[in-house]
Amino acid sequence: MDFTLDAEQLALKSEAEEFAAAAVAKYGRFNDSWLCSFSRECSQDLAARGWIGMVWPKEFGGGGRSPVDRLIVSEALITAGVPIGATWFADRQMGPGLFTFGTPEQCERYLPEILAGDVTWCIGMSEPNSGSDLASLSTSAVRDGDEWVINGQKIWTSFAHESDYCYLICRTESIPGKPHLGISEIIVPMDTPGIEVRPIRDMVDARHFNEVWFDNVRVPVGNLVGVEGKAFSQTMKQLEHERGGIDRLVSNRALYLHVLELADTSDPIVRQEIAELEIGFTVGRLLVYRSVLGQTPAGFAAGTKCVCTEYEQRVADFAARILGPEAMLHSDWSTEIAYAPAYTIMGGTSDVMRNILGDRVLGLPR
């Protein structure tokens, strides 16, 4: 397979890199910028170029462009540290979830705001006792006339404190022995009475995580996305977008490029480490290309995530060795190194990803 970029793609790459440099000069540079940054203004700049919803179908207002085009732009933006977090989730998975499973009315209501870069969405998935095992969630939505009444707690909800909407994964029915059934997806405006958001400040001072409580929160029945009680497969489709993208490979690319300039390449051991990292990046990038082009089996995004996020952790280990004592001083680079253990946890732990590969892709016995 030939992954050489054609003339138009090379021009797009240059355009994206130029935009990224200007955006960093204007808004600042951020580590893990798809997750640890927030700028509505920057998102609106992206929207003005048609870089939100690039691959969405044109009938839903999207660009109808190749997944490779989005990969090219996203890689340039994240590598440079452009603050794209305000609309990243909505572009990556909320929008596709809505136009795939939602009603025409929902698409008309919500998609234009996303495409304009005017709104932020969070996803209410993880709970204190339900992380990578989504089927164990307990946040409930009970129908009361023409409303859903929602109760429960979510955690690690990125950007909940900034969000206009929550794409909530909840339980509308409990079926003994069948935890994957009875799960539904519901749109919840974050200004609805009964919602309490508590930001979580982590050890490297990132502040995108939140705890969210729902106390008798009422939303219209029409906010249900897809089929009531059968949304587990819908959510798994979303997670394919979440786990198999370029964001899982280049979160700390800037760190690698920085320490590469400092590395003593006269040392054969250092050269060997660099070679191994370059090979790892190439393999990860090939897997991402295959994922975005739809050339992998269903569920294989779990494997892509394993390879890519474990590569990012090796980058952090290499950077710490190259920086030496400087890695213990507070700086953008040292915080990037300290953040690395999160890569193989967010979006599903590597152990769970391997179980998914064995069970759903390889069909191995349990």
Based on the fold, state whether residues 68 and 135 are members of the same structural domain: no
Based on the fold, state whether residues 129 and 205 are members of the same structural domain: yes
Based on the fold, state whether residues 107 and 127 are members of the same structural domain: no
Based on the fold, state whether residues 26 and 113 are members of the same structural domain: yes
Residue 284 lies in a domain: yes
Residue 1 lies in a domain: no
Range(s) of the domain holding residue 60 = 7-119
With 80 as the cut, is the pLDDT of residue 239 above it? no
The residues, any chain, with a CB within 8 Å of residue 80's CB and separated by 6 or more, are: 17, 20, 21, 23, 24, 29, 33, 254
Based on the fold, state whether residues 56 and 106 are members of the same structural domain: yes
Instruction: Please give the torsion angle defined by the CA atoms of residues 179, 183, 189 and 195, in that order, rounded to the nearest 10 degrees.
Output: -30
With 80 as the cut, is the pLDDT of residue 270 above it? yes
Based on the fold, state whether residues 137 and 223 are members of the same structural domain: yes
Last residue in a domain, options 179, 204, 230: 230
> What's the CATH code of the domain at 165?
2.40.110.10
Q: Return the pLDDT at 238.
A: 79
Tell me if residue 93 falls in helix, strand or coil.
helix
**Cβ atoms < 10 Å from Cβ of 218:** 15
Based on the fold, state whether residues 187 and 108 are members of the same structural domain: no
Nearest Cα neighbor of 220 from 105, 116, 87, 60 is 105
Last residue in a domain, options 180, 196, 230: 230
Q: Distance between CA 289 and CA 283 in Å, rounded?
A: 10
Radius of gyration of the chain (CA): 21
Phi, psi of 248 (to 5 degrees): -80, -5
* Paired tokens of 14: 């240059």
Q: Return the pLDDT at 366.
A: 82
Q: Return the pLDDT at 338.
A: 95
> What's the CATH code of the domain at 96?
1.10.540.10
Phi, psi of 171 (to 5 degrees): -105, 120
Q: Return the pLDDT at 134.
A: 82
Looking at 76-90, 140-154, 167-181, which range is the least confident one? 167-181
Residue 236 lies in a domain: no
Q: Return the pLDDT at 299.
A: 86
Based on the fold, state whether residues 90 and 126 are members of the same structural domain: no
Nearest Cα neighbor of 254 from 74, 85, 78 is 78
- Residue 343 to residues 21, 53, 264, Cα–Cα distance (Å): 25, 25, 27
Tell me if residue 360 falls in helix, strand or coil.
helix
Last residue in a domain, options 230, 253, 268: 230
With 70 as the cut, is the pLDDT of residue 327 above it? yes
With 90 as the cut, is the pLDDT of residue 130 above it? no
pLDDT > 90 fraction of the chain, expressed in percent and rounded: 84
**Which 8-state DSSP code applies to residue 348?**
S
Tell me if residue 157 falls in helix, strand or coil.
coil
What average pLDDT does the chain have?
94
Comparing 237 with 163, which gets the higher pLDDT?
163
| Unique residue bearing structure tokens 């569920």 | 299
* pTM for the model: 0.93
**Cβ atoms < 10 Å from Cβ of 251:** 28
**How many domains in the chain?**
3
Based on the fold, state whether residues 263 and 325 are members of the same structural domain: yes
Q: Return the pLDDT at 123.
A: 95
Q: Return the pLDDT at 51.
A: 98
Section 240-269 average pLDDT? 94
- Position 257 confidence tier, pLDDT thresholds 50, 70, 90: very high
- Position 1 confidence tier, pLDDT thresholds 50, 70, 90: low
Encoded amino acid at 199, one letter:
P
Instruction: Please give the torsion angle defined by the CA atoms of residues 4, 274, 303 and 17, in that order, rounded to the nearest 10 degrees.
Output: -50
195-199 and 210-220 beta bridge pairing: antiparallel
* Paired tokens of 166: 């929550």
Residue 235 lies in a domain: no
Specify which residues 211 forms β-bridges with.
198
Comparing 130 with 220, which gets the higher pLDDT?
220
pLDDT tens for each residue of 201-213: 988 888 899 999 9
Section 98-111 average pLDDT? 97
What is the DSSP annotation of 3-36?
----HHHHHHHHHHHHHHHHHHHHH---TTTTTS
Based on the fold, state whether residues 95 and 175 are members of the same structural domain: no
Based on the fold, state whether residues 281 and 335 are members of the same structural domain: yes
Q: Which residues are catalytic?
A: 242
Q: Return the pLDDT at 241.
A: 76
With 90 as the cut, is the pLDDT of residue 142 above it? yes
Section 293-313 average pLDDT? 93
Residue 352 lies in a domain: yes
What is the DSSP annotation of 271-337?
HHHHHHHHHHHHHHHHHHHHHHTT-S-TTTHHHHHHHHHHHHHHHHHHHHHHHGGGGGS-SHHHHHH
Section 45-61 average pLDDT? 98
pLDDT tens for each residue of 3-32: 788 999 999 999 999 999 999 999 999 999
Residue count of the chain, please give it.
Answer: 366
pLDDT > 70 fraction of the chain, expressed in percent and rounded: 99
